[in-house]
Structure 1
Amino acid sequence: MELVIEHLSKTYPNGTRALHDVSLQIAPGMFGLLGPNGAGKSSLMRTISTLQEADSGSIRLGEIDVLRQPEHVRQVLGYLPQEFGVYPKVSAAELLEHFAVLKGISNKSERRQVVDALLHQTNLWEARNKNLGGYSGGMKQRFGIAQALLGDPKLIIVDEPTAGLDPTERNRFHNLLAEIGEDRIVILSTHIVSDVSDLCRQFAIINKGQVLYTGDPLVAIEEMRGQIWRRNVSKDELGQYQQQFSVISSRLFAGQTIIHVHSIAQPGNGFEAVEPTLEDVYFARIHAAEQVAAEASKA
């Protein structure tokens, strides 16, 4: 079963163009949707999950027409939104059982088996009788995955799942996502590049509602080999270098600014070639799209 999105567009009543001619083909496994805040990721996830309508385009999940058959989609969908609320005075076991009823698991014995198995899978069994209000952020996210797995969905969407998690919980959550992404489509929507490089065999970069790149992260990195250059500059020099070169990123280290430049050829004295990362791919694609948009606005 594949998820096929073709020429999807969405503009909100206030004039914001959230999606513009988005086309993606997503096979089973972990798929990363990478983009900055406001890029259109959540709009795309909400459209796929039938929470909002598109202006034009189509989405098919296997034989299901997602935009015209929302009830069919919901039967095979698991969704963890960016803002996942819980009832603070209800235990994890109680609320998960309630969600299981809503998912249509009516047999009490079967429901208990499913709930217990998910609590074990998400490492929440020991805290199953604890009120959700006392859960840490990471525990709440794992509970969110548990409810998303109810009904053995064929498509799972997780929207910014690791934002705000400490490193330990983030690693635990990564392991859980990797486990559940082996035999179904899991779309990981995030602005954290390392989430995609750690987990996903396929990904897309989206910005301002448009898909800028789609493919294999390792292939994307290899395509950038020999094109990323680094140099240390002073803070006062940064603006000058940004005018002269295609500076795709800058960061402070030990009081100095380290810049990465995207260039086919050696940019000049003082630059050294570095091994590209997925972060370089991401910044280079975003930077190139913004340059094109800036040139178009001048025309």
Structure 2
Amino acid sequence: MELIIDNLSKTYANGVQALQNISLEIPTGMFGLLGPNGAGKSTLMRTIATLQEADKGSIKLGEIDVLKQKNELRQVLGYLPQQFGLYPKLSAEFLLNHFAILKGINNKGERNDLVNALLIKTNLYEVRKQNLKGFSGGMKQRFGIAQALLSNPKLLIVDEPTAGLDPVERNRFYNVLSEIGEKTVVILSTHIVDDVKELCTNMAIINKGQVCLKGNPKKIIEDMKGKVYKKTIHKQELNSYKQNYQVISERLFLGKPNIHILSDVNPGDGFTQINAELEDVYFSEIFNNTNAKSH
């Protein structure tokens, strides 16, 4: 199964170009969609999920023309949006059972087996009788995945799923997604670089509605090998360094800015070469895309 997005564009009534000629081929497995807030990730996810229309372009999942065969797509889609509502006074088991009935799973025995299997898969079986208002953020996200898997989807979309989760909950969530990705097209939309590095075999970076870069994360990092340098500087020097070097990221270290720059040659000047990380690739692409737009 493969999801093919071709030349997809969307402009809102206020003139914002949310998507500009997006083309991606997404095979079975985990696909990471990276980009800053406002990059167009959620617009793309909602369009694939048939929740809004595109201005032009096409989306196909196998033989399904997504933009024309919305009902057919919805039957094989699992979707976990960035914000989703829960019924706080109902238990996880009751609510999953209710959702299963709404999806047409009418045989009680089959339904109970499915609900129990999903509660086990998402590590919620022990708290299945507990009302959702007592769930932590990570438990709520795992419940969201459980309900998204009720229809045994061929395509699963998760939008910013680990924002606000602690490291333990995040790892649990990673494990669930990784297992699902063995048989399903899973799109993970996020601005958290580590999510993609840990989970995905393919990825794309989008910014301002355009694809900046796509490929295998390890290969993408390898292509930047030997080009990233770091240096700790004084705060008042930051603007000067930005004018003289391609500064792709900055963070405070013991109160002083620690900057990473991109350079094809050793810049000297006290810089130290470091191993490139996916975060360096990400910031470099966002930097280049933003600068290209401003000129």
Rounded to whole Å, the distance in 2 between the matches of 1:184 and 1:152 is 9
Structure 2 regions of 5+ residues with no counterpart?
A: none
1:121 aligns with 2:125: no
Q: CA deviation at 1:134?
A: 1.0
TM (norm. structure 1) is 0.98
Whichever residue aligns with residue 176 of structure 1, its letter is: V
Rounded to whole Å, the distance in 1 between the matches of 2:52 and 2:157 is 15
Whichever residue aligns with residue 192 of structure 2, its letter is: I
Deviations 1:5-57 (CA, angstroms, capped at 9, x unpaired): 00000011111111010000000000000001111000000000000010000
How big is the alpha-carbon RMSD for the aligned residues of Structure 1 and Structure 2? Answer: 0.7
Provide the secondary structure at the position in 1 that maps to 2:23. strand
Matches within 5 A, 1:275-290: 275-290=275-290
Rounded to whole Å, the distance in 2 between the matches of 1:112 and 1:147 is 14
Percent of aligned pairs sharing the same letter: 63
Provide the secondary structure at the position in 2 that maps to 1:23. strand
Q: CA deviation at 1:212?
A: 0.4
Q: CA deviation at 1:286?
A: 0.8
1:104 aligns with 2:122: no
Q: CA deviation at 1:267?
A: 2.0
| Corresponding residue pairs, total | 295
Aligned position for 2:247: 247
Aligned position for 1:16: 16
Q: CA deviation at 1:268?
A: 3.0
Runs of 4+ in 1 over 4 A off after TM superposition: none
Aligned position for 1:171: 171
Whichever residue aligns with residue 193 of structure 1, its letter is: V
Q: CA deviation at 1:173?
A: 0.7
Whichever residue aligns with residue 168 of structure 2, its letter is: T
1:197 aligns with 2:197: yes
Q: CA deviation at 1:243?
A: 0.8
Q: CA deviation at 1:256?
A: 1.7
TM (norm. structure 2) is 0.99
Matches within 5 A, 1:55-134: 55-134=55-134
Matches within 5 A, 1:252-267: 252-267=252-267
Rounded to whole Å, the distance in 1 between the matches of 2:97 and 2:16 is 39
Provide the secondary structure at the position in 1 that maps to 2:286. helix
Task: Report which stretch shifted further, 65-74 or 260-269.
Answer: 260-269
Whichever residue aligns with residue 82 of structure 1, its letter is: Q
Rounded to whole Å, the distance in 2 between the matches of 1:192 and 1:261 is 20
Deviations 1:162-196 (CA, angstroms, capped at 9, x unpaired): 00001111111111111111111000000000000
1:232 aligns with 2:232: yes
Aligned position for 2:54: 54
Deviations 1:114-158 (CA, angstroms, capped at 9, x unpaired): 001101111111110111111110000000000011111000000
Aligned position for 1:187: 187
Whichever residue aligns with residue 146 of structure 1, its letter is: A
Rounded to whole Å, the distance in 1 between the matches of 2:65 and 2:102 is 23
Rounded to whole Å, the distance in 1 between the matches of 2:133 and 2:255 is 42
Whichever residue aligns with residue 221 of structure 1, its letter is: I
Rounded to whole Å, the distance in 2 between the matches of 1:63 and 1:197 is 30
Rounded to whole Å, the distance in 2 between the matches of 1:155 and 1:46 is 13
